[in-house]
Amino acid sequence: MEYALPLLIVVVTALLVYAIIKTNPAKPASLPTRAAGPGPYVPQLPATAPALHWSDKGRFLVEVVNESRYQATLKELAGAHGEHAAAVACVATLVPDDQNAYENTAVAVFVEGRMAGYLAPKEALHFRQRLKFKEIESQPTTCDAQVRGGGLWQGRHLAYVLVLDIEPLD
């Protein structure tokens, strides 16, 4: 008898959950559509003017996540720098990438009109919150940037990175 009430509660709860699931079947989430084409997905750089230029007074503390496929672009942007590491100034355009099928808060980073990488997912989320706060969500913005790296170490050139002059985002 002492187990009857808890057992009744469990059975009623299970039946209620079952009824809810049957009357409201889960609908698969739809991914944003993007143009199918050869090669990996690359977002488009909008033709609109940047809404804002960010600055962190030259500290360059935010590093762009760059996959190996962007190394050639960064190497070209770095130019000739011999055995020493590059530190080439440029301007980066940050573009909320709403068509990205892999990350719904992605922020693409372009330099001289070329894709150079993405903000890390957590940083992209915080960056989009800043855009929303400034009422410029989904709009491109710019900041000063530097291409660094590529120095010679143990006979091999190191990878390049792109760092942004925006306040740390996490």
Please report whether residue 112 resides in a domain: yes
Residue 109 identity (one-letter amino acid):
V
Please report whether residue 59 resides in a domain: yes
- Collapse the DSSP code of 104 into the 3-class scheme (helix H, G, I; strand E, B; otherwise coil) and give the result: coil
Please report whether residue 170 resides in a domain: no
Please report whether residue 1 resides in a domain: no
- pLDDT confidence tier of residue 157, bands split at 50, 70 and 90: confident
Please report whether residue 28 resides in a domain: no
Give the length of the chain. 170
Give yes or no for residue 34 having a pLDDT over 80: no
- Structural domain range at position 80: 53-164
Residue 27 is predicted with a pLDDT of: 57
Q: How many helices (H) and strands (E) does the chain have?
A: 3, 9
- Residues 133-153 pLDDT 10s: 999 999 999 999 999 999 989
Supply the CATH number for residue 70's domain: 3.30.70
Please report whether residue 131 resides in a domain: yes
Give yes or no for residue 29 having a pLDDT over 70: no
- The number of domains in the chain is 1
CB atoms within 10 A of CB 25: 6
Are 109 and 116 a contacting pair, CB within 8 Å?
Answer: yes
- Residues 62-107 pLDDT 10s: 999 977 889 999 999 999 988 899 999 999 999 999 999 889 999 9
